[in-house]
Structure 1
Amino acid sequence: MKPNPELIDDDNPEWTEEDFKNAVPFSALPESLQTTLRGLKGRGKQQSPTKVSMTVRFDRDVLDAFRATGHGWQKRMNDALKEWLKEHATG
């Protein structure tokens, strides 16, 4: 089977047998490099979470529109709902 040229990533090619033979476990890397790489994971677990995970249903077109905006779409959806609440607050 011939690979799809659109899926080929020259900056991150598929590993060869030689690559696998030369690979070392993370624990074998110098401690300083392990520390640096651990810092690249992101912000980590929140100390006091402010958000709640739940299941909610949205129309497909609404969800697709937010997802199409790329990384951070859930935050933008949350912000849009907050704005709606401000505009429609009762009391």
Structure 2
Amino acid sequence: MSKKSVDPERVDDDNPEWTETDMRTAMRLDGLPESLQRKLRGQRGPQKAPRKIQTAVRYDVDIIDAFKAGGPGWQTRMNQALREWLRGREKA
């Protein structure tokens, strides 16, 4: 498609339309070596020594509200509270 037939308001010179040659020579991202693949933003790599597991637990609303009221980091504070409770049981 030539640029003359395209609405000039919608032409983006930084991101031109692909040509037939572009389509034929394109490579799939999963075909690139792992060293060249870009990690997506927000994705973590594998942990060297996994220390935590993901699980689903249901808590009463007032419990969650109380921890969230302290602002960001509420899950860490909840983890610390559970750890303290475990330590108290070990002493008993």
Q: Provide TM-score, normalisation by structure 2.
A: 0.47
Larger Rg: 2
